[in-house]
Structure formats: C-alpha cells, structure tokens
Amino acid sequence: MNEARQHRFKPAKGAADLLLIRHGETQAAVRGKSFPMIEGQGDPALRPEGEAQAIAVAERLKTESISAIYVTTMQRTHQTAAPLARHLGLVPKVERDLREVFLGDWDGGEFRFRAAENDPAILRARAQQEWGELPGAETTAQLQTRVRAGLLRIAQAHPDELVAVVVHGGVIAAALAIATGSPAFAFNGADNGSISRLVIRDGEMTLRGFNDVWHLRT
C-alpha cells in the first residue's frame, strides 16, 4: 500500500441511518382559541411557510435512497412528509411514540404565550431541563423513554437502510440528548424543516448531523 487516505464515515453493517426532519412551521397560536386537539395535544396544521419548507425538504431528499418514511400521529408531520412521499412513491408509517412533548395544561397553544412571557414555570423547566415543571406535563424521563423506544423500533425494522422520520422539535432534542449524553435541553430549538441525522445499531445511537437547513436558504 503506497498511500492511506483519511477515514470517511460509513454506517456499520446492520445500522439504520435515520434522517430526523422537523415538521414545517405551523399556524400561529391565537389568544383564547385552542388548536385542534388529538389525544389531548395540540394539532395545528402547517401555515404557508411550513408548506414551502416541506417542499424544500422534498427537493433536498428526493434523489436519496430512502426506504421508508415515518410520521407521528400529528397532522403537521403528515403534511410535511407528503411532498417527499409523492416523489418517492412511499406511504408514510405512523410511530406514535415520537409525538411531541405533552405540555399538559398548556397544550393547545397556551405554551407559546407562556414561553414568550417567561412564565416562572417555563424558567424552572429550562433551568432544571425538566418538562415536568409545567402543570400537567409529562416528565423529561417519560419523553426520553418513549422517544428511545420509537427510534429503536424503526431502527430494528430498517437495518442497512436510510429512513426519513418526520417529527417534532422536542423529540429531536430528546433523541440527540439520548445519543450524546448531553443535558436534556441541549438540542432544543431545531429549525422547522431542518434535517438531523442519527445512526442506530444494536441500540447504540451515533449523532451524525444537527439542524441542517441548507435547503431552506433563499
């Protein structure tokens, strides 16, 4: 051997390569008016900007060798996945455990106002990295447990395959914190329409990318 090139990452045999796509931007919350609800959680539709983000995601990924598309129970993930599903001729599958954080009494839109106003419970949640500080919300541990279970189910079903998983900001944060051992809120704030990448093999998760938004640049 006369030369040795630098290593280039390739998923190990049997690994699932997951593209975690945050849904597009949704309708704004309106004072005194709840979002539509599903199983006790707010279920807003995409706004026009979110629909444009969904199209941009599809354009970015339409030539990739994606074997399956997953969505959650919430309509914003179905709407975001739709353009890509049409390009690839795939029918999205639902993984319920990857639904968004349950925000308890503040689900349905109220959380957005409370966050904008720096409600004391929001400040405690951020300081302690604990969703359970919100009234009636699930705990961070509960969120991470179900997110891990959902991701592992997908990975076990798709060894050696590339999979698009359209999810939520809180779910991406939970998944990447699990993968890296980082504080629970370290990856909060993924952009709408962004793409993160997680490689999973035998229950071990490797972060390969976070918040890629190149396709959203104008």
Judge whether 114 and 106 are in contact, CB under 8 Å. Answer: yes
Q: What distance in Å separates the CA atoms of residue 92 and residue 85, rounded to the nearest whole number?
A: 7
Cβ-count burial 124-146 (b if 16+ within 10 Å, e if not)? ebeeebbbbbbeebbebeebbeb
Residue 52 is predicted with a pLDDT of 98
User: Rounded CA gap, 171 and 51, in Å?
Assistant: 20
pLDDT, residue 71, reads 99
The confidence score (pLDDT) of residue 70 equals: 99
Q: Where are the domains of the chain?
A: 16-100+138-216
pTM of full prediction above 0.85: yes
How high is the pLDDT of residue 1?
Answer: 75
The Cα–Cα gap between 49 and 76 comes to 12
Q: Per-residue pLDDT for the chain (218 aa), expressed as one digit of tens each?
A: 789 999 999 999 999 999 999 999 999 999 999 999 999 999 999 999 999 999 999 999 999 999 999 999 999 999 999 999 999 999 999 999 999 999 999 999 999 999 999 999 999 999 999 999 999 999 999 999 999 999 999 999 999 999 999 999 999 999 999 999 999 999 999 999 999 999 999 999 999 999 999 999 97
- 16-100+138-216 adopts what CATH topology? Rossmann fold (3.40.50)
> What is the per-residue pLDDT for 2?
87
Per-residue HEC secondary structure of the chain comes to CCCCCCCCCCCCCCCEEEEEEECCCECCCECCECCCEECCEECCCECHHHHHHHHHHHHHHCCCCEEEEEECCCHHHHHHHHHHHHHHCCCCEECHHHCCCCCHHHCCCHHHHHHHCCCHHHHHHHHHCCHHHCCCCCCHHHHHHHHHHHHHHHHHHCCCCEEEEEECHHHHHHHHHHHHCCCCCCCCCCCCCCEEEEEEECCEEEEEEEEECHHHCC
Distance CA 179, CA 173 (A): 10
